[in-house]
């Protein structure tokens, strides 16, 4: 753990639960994708550059090494990095996003 990283046993425990059987970063990302599929309440709203979008799905993008949110605004769909969104969600989804942000920053 880097010196600047604050202790957060709750998020660390969730990260461990999600990535327990994973051998590498790709499998860990897949673990997070599965956690969002199982536990996130979607759709939910989010903002990006001051615009509101609906988050429909969170998963892995084609060849990208991060999770991507499939969003919709005014009938059009967009693929946006999960880390670029300010998501307004229920506590369980918010907790998953916080764990993903913590994991990816490690």
What percent of the chain lies above the pLDDT cut of 70? 95
98 in a structural domain? yes
Burial of 64 (0-12, 13-18, 19+ CB in 10 A): exposed
2 in a structural domain? no
- Residue 78 neighbours by CB under 8 Å, 6+ apart: 53, 70, 71, 72
The 10s digit of each residue's pLDDT in 57-82 is: 999 987 778 999 999 999 999 999 99
Q: Is the pLDDT of residue 1 over 50?
A: no
pLDDT band at 4 (very low <50, low <70, confident <90, very high): low
Omega cis (within 30) before 43: yes
86 in a structural domain? yes
Tally of domains in the chain: 1
Q: What is the CATH number of the domain that holds 97?
A: 2.30.30
Domain of residue 95 covers 9-105
101 in a structural domain? yes
């Amino acid at each position: 753990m880097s010196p600047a990283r604050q202790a957060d046993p709750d998020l660390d425990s969730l990260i461990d639960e999600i990535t327990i059987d994973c051998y590498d970063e790709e499998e860990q990302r897949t673990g997070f994708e599965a956690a969002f599929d199982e536990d996130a309440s979607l759709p939910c709203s989010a903002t990006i550059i001051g615009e509101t979008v609906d988050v429909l799905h969170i998963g892995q993008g084609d060849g990208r090494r991060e999770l991507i949110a499939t969003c919709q605004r005014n009938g059009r769909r967009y693929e946006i990095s999960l880390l670029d969104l300010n998501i307004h969600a229920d506590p369980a989804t918010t907790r998953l996003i916080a764990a993903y942000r913590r994991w990816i920053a490690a």
